[in-house]
Amino acid sequence: MAQEKHRPEPVEGGAAVYGYRARIGYTCPPVIAEVFPYEFYRVVPEGVTLAITTLAVAKATSEELRTSYDISLRAAREMGAAGVDLVVLGGAPVNMAHGYDGVEKLIKRAEAEAGVPVTTSLTAKNNALHHLRSRRVVVVGTSDNGDISSEYLAQAGCEVVASVSMPDAPPLNHLGRLPSEASARIARDLVRQHPEADTLYFPCAHRATVDKIEALEEELGVSVVSASSAIIWEALRRCGIRDPIVGYGRLFRNLEDD
């Protein structure tokens, strides 16, 4: 288990750095970073900061994914040099640019070059689903997600009971215009149509969802995991941050007991 670093507490006048408990690096696939940083700071406790690099994904073409893969490695090196505590390489399609079997190789290469611990958003998602003992999952994706989640969910031991994409979802770089209720509304219908499901999953970290997780769990009686919640949960755990966090679902409720 990772141990939280002993850093100076903030003092009057701001002598301590903002990230006095943990500085988490994140490579953000969309060219525009909007939703994930906002959700990150809604959830994390004081003293935890986000160091972010945006990549080159706009339409999720093969060329964009390969380019973003290379930028991720370069960003990881720079983040390591800047002294972050952990690097999260974002975007399952970017993580899997060289296939699912290449993800662990990506982590090892990035760690060797950055000199700090590295994980991926795909790893975080699978770990979160495993932690919640998810087995039968319904997926609410966006028009940009495709079917890639089915591949890594199977690797996590999950059966995809049903999967839908949001109708008329805006392009990836414009998902900030999509209200969280739009995703929640489709999710409610999907879970009610599939009572055998034990988990609701939102695979994209760049549309609003995190503020609906707690209410959806209470209303529908299933675990709810979003890409954002999984990435934040994994990063906090890896950095030894175990504060109780309420209001964002089961994944965070017993963080101190993980």
Question: Mind listing the pLDDT tens digit for each residue in 78-104?
Answer: 999 999 999 999 999 999 988 889 999
Pair 128, 209 in one domain:
yes
Structural domain including 215 reads: 124-226
Rg (alpha carbons) of the chain, rounded to whole number: 17
Pair 79, 198 in one domain:
no
Pair 83, 175 in one domain:
no
Q: Does the pLDDT value for residue 3 go beyond 80?
A: no
Pair 154, 173 in one domain:
yes
Q: Which tokens go with 241?
A: 């941050």
In degrees, to the nearest 5, what angle opens at C-alpha 162 toward C-alphas 258 and 33? 60
Pair 208, 169 in one domain:
yes
The CATH number of residue 215's host domain is: 3.40.50.12500
Residue 5 lies in a domain: no
Residue 14 lies in a domain: no
Cβ–Cβ under 8 Å, residues 19 and 256? no
- How far, in Å, CA of 146 to CA of 151, rounded? 11
Pair 33, 55 in one domain:
yes
Q: Which tokens go with 68?
A: 């973003």
Q: Which residue has the tokens 């000199």?
A: 115
Question: Mind listing the pLDDT tens digit for each residue in 112-139?
Answer: 999 999 999 999 999 999 999 999 999 9
Q: Which tokens go with 73?
A: 């490695």
Total domains, the chain: 2
Average pLDDT, integer, range 69-74: 96
Residue 117 lies in a domain: yes
Pair 55, 142 in one domain:
no
Pair 67, 99 in one domain:
yes
What three-state secondary structure class fits 155? helix
Pair 202, 130 in one domain:
yes
Residue 130 lies in a domain: yes
Provide the sign of the torsion angle of the four alpha carbons 218, 223, 224, 225, taken in this order.
positive
Question: Mind listing the pLDDT tens digit for each residue in 158-208?
Answer: 999 999 988 888 888 888 899 999 999 999 999 999 999 999 999 999 999
How many helices (H) and strands (E) the chain has is answered by 10, 8
Q: What was the pLDDT predicted at 127?
A: 95
Would you place residue 1 in the very low, low, confident or very high pLDDT band (cuts 50, 70, 90)?
very low
Pair 191, 246 in one domain:
no
